[in-house]
Structure 1
Amino acid sequence: MRIAIYGKGGIGKSTITANLAAALAERGKRVLQIGCDPKHDSTRLLLSGKKTMTALDYLRNVAPGVQRLSDVLHTGYKGVVCAEAGGPEPGVGCAGRGILSAFALFDRLGLKTEEFDVILYDVLGDVVCGGFAVPLRKGFADIVYIVTSEEFMSLYAANNILRGVQNFDDSLCKIAGLILNSRGETEDKKKVHRFSEAVRLPVKYTISRSALFSKAEELNKTVVEAFPKSSETKLFHTMARGFLKDKRLFPAAPLEDETLERIVLKGERDADKPDADKKVKDNISEIESAEEEKTGALSALDQKNGSTPSIFFSKSMLCREPLHGCAFTGAICTTTQISGSITVAHAPPSCSHIACQTIMAGGLRALYQKNLAIFEQLSPSLLSSDMNEETVIYGGIDGLVEKLRQAVAAGPEAVFLLTACPAGIIGEDTESAIRIVRAGHPEIPIISVTADGNIRGDYMQGVLNACMEGAGALIDPCCRPEDNSVNIIAEKNIANNAETNFALISNLLNELGISVNCRFVRRTSIEALRNFLKGRLNLPAFNDYFSRMLINFLKERFHISFAQNSFPVGFYESERWLNEIADFFGKEAEAERVIAFFRKKYREMVKPFKKALNGKRIMIITYIHDIDWILETAFDLGMEIAKVCILNYSQDNLFATRYPERFEAETDYPPWKRDEDLRRLKPDLLLCNYIPGDLPPALHADTIPLCPDTGFYGGLAFARRWAFLLKAPVIEGWKYESEKLA
């Protein structure tokens, strides 16, 4: 049973909620209470006044990789589990957005609500914005109680809460009734009863003003704990029994502001309201069925596996580095690679335009530089809801529903929904929009991918989420592996040579009689993703951090086999890669034939480069950690490695080499040491990821590609550039023509 208790700030809802939790716990119930008020004092009396770390403070101060659910859950009176969302200081920030972030944290850390008999949400109800409305959404609170007093503003807040319930789900009955927390005997309770009659809700319980509440608070205890034999405690036990047994729920029927004033303040009857609106509905089945949809419950697949899904972060998120791009763009650049689908961006037009340009830039480079037309990147299937200031203020669900309907009307095999920062900030309930559209088109899957601009992470986090939540959701778990079939994993959609590398890998596989089943996720289709598990072996394109996270996800979720070696660069890696695949499929003879052919040709190709480069010294400064292909090429050509300097890099944290004794190496290299090392080592050639403008003039320098060409000759293609570069003068004369003229 999940109960949200709403009310105007200062109305006493936190005191009521805490005492109710204590009474339920005394009845042997497992209770979880979550405070959703920025004051973060909802559970204080249950914890004997102890100050605890709120979810938002924890989120801000603790790195994602070491976050644990136990750090934000605290056990209080009679075993009540307590959590506080927290919020910003008054006058700054957005408390509503904070509630969204806190609930996302609880979900990500694996809060299992099914372990509790009763969950109580104590929620500020002055403003039912996107954040404070989170407990109203499907999957959170099944039942809503509203705390009010005789004051008009508390009744006004109660009416606003009813509007919030109606806006989020007007098809269900969720309101259990009102709780009157009386200000005193002199107050006019008739106002509350007139309001109750007008909105068709019963006043379930009336709590009289009592000095015991203040006395208990001074003791840092609830009344239930401090004064167990008092009439106030008996009332809370009565409420606890009623909460557990009374299944009657009512629809939200808020009043217009003028009607509210007329009825509450002037005492007039609501004679103009049609009789049809006066019918009170009971809805018992919704309470029972909702128990099957508890937030945090494991998926059917996870329940079968008997495990809780792991959390996968990009490295910049894990290490709390500055974000590299935004999750929204990373996710869009991934979902638009899936033919047969349409991606809907719930975002301002500028965000959608920038993301689209990022996609098309790669397509245009491939077209102009390689004469290769990649349709998915030249004309991405992308629709934008075009959020503006009005939708940010008033919500954009109607516009999103219209855009989703436009998408499904085009007849795609699937629709992906991604959100930019504004939708995430206001807490747009995109799941409700999906439910509305899905009701009319149940045959088309509409899949939401976590993005929220850069709120949920950087570009690579968006790529990860799109692969796991988007493409991963389409995989048919009933498929069985087929012989001589592989999947390709973790290609880089931003790489200029992704298609030429794939073509080379495909040719090598074809020589072994093996075909590619699915590319996860690049230039693939809905059908290929559904049949993903038909691939008997999965081949990672890279061995970087991103690839390892994707492999871990797929292993955990589908228990599939992976090759140990990624796409090869250079002769050694290509030979090792082919032999591994051949051993797996029983293709040893075919692999031996292919390797013999390339070995002969490789030896012939090395000779001219060796004449030009033998004895030359190289210094390497790089944030790419997999560079053995460079070292192999240099050693095959008789070159000397003066030093390898490994920079810290957001996409990897693993440097290893099979040549540890042949050169000087330094990891976590500080860039300020560069000039000192250049003077000391005097290399002929500096290799780095980009050429800085402040290099010493008498030095040749070349760049290291992020994604090198694969295959037996990948390193030699690079060596060709070195040979031409070292033929040129060290000091290029044109740079000094102006000095001669002067």
Structure 2
Amino acid sequence: MSKLTENLTYHYLGAEAAPTREERIEACNAFGGSCRSLKKGMGNSCTKFNSRKFAQGGGCQLTLALGIVATFQNVVIIIHAPLGCGSTSLSFAGTRKTMRGQKQKPKTDNIWLHTNLDENDVISGGIEKLRKAVLYAEQEYRPDAIIIANSCVPGIIGDDIDSLLDELDRQLSARVVPVHCEGFKSKFVATGYDSAYHGVLKKLVDPVPRYDRTIPDDVGDAAEKYLNSRTVNLLNVGSTSYGDEVELSRLLKALDLNVRVMPLFSSVEEISRFGEAALNVSICATHDDYLVGHLKERFGTGYVIDTLPIGIKSTNQWLREIGKFFKLEDEVERLIAIETAQLEEALEPFKKVLKGKRVFVGGGEMRIFTTAEFYQSLGMNVLGLKPHNFDRFAVPLIDEISDQQAVIDVAPGQPAEEMVILNRLKPDLYVGHTGANGWVTKLGIPNIPLFGQTFNYMGYSGAYELARKAARKFQNTTFARKIAANVALPFRPEWYETNPFDNIKEVQA
């Protein structure tokens, strides 16, 4: 656990909803400049007040919250919202089933209900529609949990869903989980993760039980204590693939640790036992810091949250933090020595191809910095980065970028801003978040995805795959060139001459 996180206090569970990230952590979602200037701005606590005169686009907290809770087994999701909020999430129905199969979890149907709020409900309230939906879900599907996703409209008109759910709780066999993901409350879309985990922590996570035994207490205590003292919750996120989970579990099991991969694609019963582990291991602070802080306060569970295990250096650091907790430092060093020796040998052919190539990386803050550092270790030059947001967890990672004058554009969405930057920098390779690659291809820049459900990106095998992907992309760049020659971006030539950061309103220290 780093000094950044060890002194944080979490006292929010008594509230109906999670606090916004503006309240809770020092975060920035609007910045344009260099690595050095961003670190200076974060040190002066001024960048968190930056904003934009105009926002081209961004994410939705509802979508991110549903990305967590919709994976749980045998649950019914009720979207309390106008119809549009539900239609934007229908794509989950197919993808979640596919991902569940890849991760070798039991397949249960994605069941979605919708209260379909209209103009009359905005005036008179939508509570009765929600009441009917909850009772219908219980009688028709008999789920383990009913999860209510509360969107912007009921938040604005003041529907008191928590009072309703408290009233209905005695009539239901399912656990009822309110998720307050009203997007208008925060500029930081990642608050949606906090909203989901707030509901999960309040309604699904049970106290750690003391089991009745038929064997003597001292023997039973010793056995249970040993098992729990070696148990690690490996916290997965939507962007991790089954291959990532296998690789990270392999490394932890090599240290003789008992690994539980959760909470995504877990059963309600598995989630209820969250507090039984000795250590919670995060692979992304953006997703998990709210969750692990509460579990530490409630159960005394330690956690590791400092880095994302992408690339050799970050994977080594990740393992060392875990080894330090379990006092397995020597075992970890032996494991690192074996893995890195094999990997370094395998990477040599790729280094010859990638040396001197210029790369730009865009996506989630923790993932892009660790990915950029790894490509840098292979001899590539990092021209720039585009994190969706930036907070204190990523500050130490700035120092890993050799060129402190590399461009940083902190921006959720804003593709028009990014296109100006890329058109000027003209990187040899773009590594980007889902949704960005189409825009970049139209500029004629070869690109590969930052993550994907069918590939391995994490751990030592993931480092090999990242290098192999980049090297293969340079074998044939015809696709991007032909797309750029035949498909135009919707920007006038004079747009590319503007300052991409003119739209950002900076606060001076």
Fold-level similarity (TM above 0.5): yes
Q: In the alignment, which residue of structure 1 is the partner of 2:137?
A: 407
Match of 1:503 among 236, 243, 246: 246
2:77 alignment partner, SS class: strand
- Tell me, in whole angstroms, the C-alpha distance in 1 between the residues paired with 2:484 and 2:383: 32
Q: Structure 1's 506 and 366: CA in aligned 2 closer, same or farther, altered over 3 A?
A: same
Q: 1:344 is paired with a residue of what secondary structure?
A: strand
- Tell me if the contact between 1:688 and 1:703 (Cα under 8 Å) persists in the aligned partners: yes
Q: Aligned in 2, Cα 1:625/1:648: closer, same or farther, shift over 3 Å?
A: closer
- Residue 530 of structure 1 aligns with an amino acid whose one-letter code is S
1:673 & 1:737 partners in 2: Cα distance? Answer: 19
- Give the superposition deviation at 1:473: 3.2
User: Sequence identity of aligned pairs in percent?
Assistant: 21
- Which amino acid letter does the alignment assign opposite residue 313 of structure 1? R
Distance, in Å, in 2 between the alignment partners of 1:388 and 1:696 is 40
Question: 2:230 touches 2:258 (CA, 8 Å); kept in 1?
Answer: yes
For 1:250-289, what per-residue CA distance to the aligned partner results, in whole angstroms no more than 9, with x for missing partners?
xxxxxxxxxxxxxxxxxxxxxxxxxxxxxxxxxxxxxxxx
Q: Say which SS state the counterpart of residue 415 (structure 1) adopts.
A: strand
Residue 471 of structure 2 corresponds to 723
Pick aligned residue for 2:266 from 500, 524, 528: 524
Query: 243, 247, 255: which one pairs with 1:512?
Result: 255
CA contact (8 A) 2:205 2:275 kept: yes
> Which amino acid is 1:513 matched to?
D
Aligned pair 1:347/2:81, yes or no? yes
Q: Of residues 497, 510, 533 in structure 1, which corresponds to 2:275? A: 533
Within-5 A mapping of 1:86-165: none
Counterpart residue number, 2:71: 337
Query: What residue number does 2:384 align with?
Result: 645
Query: Is 1:492 matched up with 2:245?
Result: no
**1:394 Cα offset (Å):** 3.9
Q: Secondary structure at the match of 2:285?
A: coil
Instruction: Give the match's secondary structure for 1:524.
Output: coil
Q: 3-state DSSP class of the match of 1:713? A: helix
Amino acid at match of 2:68: T
Q: Which residue of 1 aligns with 2:93?
A: 360
1:343–1:415 CA contact under 8 A, matched in 2? yes
1:334-374 superposed Cα distances (whole Å, 9 cap, x missing partner): 2222224333333344433432x14225326648xx96676
1:601 aligns with 2:309: no
* Compared CA separation, residues 663 and 647, structure 1 to 2 (3 A): same
Of structures 1 and 2, the one with the larger relative CO (CA 8 A, separation 6+) is 2
Question: 1:156-175 counterparts in 2 under 5 A?
Answer: none
Q: Distance in 1 between matches of 2:284 and 2:290?
A: 11
Contact 2:61 / 2:191 at 8 angstroms: preserved in 1? yes
Instruction: Give the Cα–Cα distance (whole angstroms) in 2 for the partners of residues 587 and 512 of structure 1.
Output: 8
Q: Find the counterpart in structure 2 of residue 434 from structure 1.
A: 165
Q: Determine the structure 1 residue equivalent to 2:32.
A: none
Q: Is the 8 A contact 2:231 2:257 kept in 1?
A: yes
Corresponding residue number in structure 2 for 1:712: 460
Q: In 2 relative to 1, CA 428–478 (structure 1 residues): closer, same or farther, beyond 3 Å?
A: same
Q: In 2, distance between residues paired with 1:507 and 1:649?
A: 31
**1:331 Cα deviation after fit:** 2.8
2:19 maps to which residue?
311
- The Cα shift of 1:479 comes to 5.0
Residue 658 of structure 1: how far off its partner (Å) = 5.2
Which residue of the other structure, out of 284, 309, 315, is the alignment partner of 1:542? 284
1:618 to 329, 337, 358: 358
The 1:688/1:434 distance shift into structure 2, 3 A limit, reads closer
String of CA shifts for 1:688-741, please: whole Å, max 9, x gaps.
Answer: 5545758898x7532450577101132332222332333336798867999xxx
Higher gyration radius (CA): 1
Counting matched residue pairs gives 418
Return the alpha-carbon distance in structure 2 between the equivalents of residues 383 and 735 of structure 1.
Answer: 41
Secondary structure of 2:95's aligned partner: helix
AA aligned opposite 1:379: D
What SS does the aligned partner of 2:457 have? coil
Letter matched to residue 343 of structure 2: Y
1:580–1:661 distance in 2 versus 1, CA, 3 Å? same
Q: Distance in 1 between matches of 2:185 and 2:398?
A: 37
Change (3 A) 1:721 1:389: same
Q: Would you say 1:387 and 2:387 are equivalent positions?
A: no
TM-score calculated relative to the size of structure 2: 0.67
Deviates more, 1:531-540 or 1:409-418: 409-418
What residue ranges of structure 2 are gaps of 5+ in the alignment? 1-10, 30-47, 211-224, 411-416, 487-509
SS at match of 2:21: coil
Q: How many angstroms apart in 2 are the aligned matches of 1:646 and 1:619? A: 9
Q: Which residue in the other structure is 2:200 paired with?
A: 470
Give the superposition deviation at 1:464. Answer: 1.3
Distance verdict in 2 for CA 1:647–1:413, change over 3 Å:
closer
CA distance in 1, matches of 2:247, 2:125: 49
Q: How far apart, in 1, do the equivalents of 2:348 and 2:428 lie?
A: 20
Q: How does 1:668-683 map to 2 (within 5 A)?
A: 668=409, 671=418, 672=420, 674-678=422-426
- One-letter amino acid matched to 1:728: N
Query: How far off its partner does 1:648 sit?
Result: 5.5
**How do residues 43-54 of structure 1 correspond to structure 2 at under 5 angstroms?**
none
Distance 1:427 1:537, change over 3 A: same
Task: Report if the CA contact (8 A) 1:347-1:384 is conserved.
Answer: yes
Preserved CA contact (<8 Å) 2:310 2:374: no
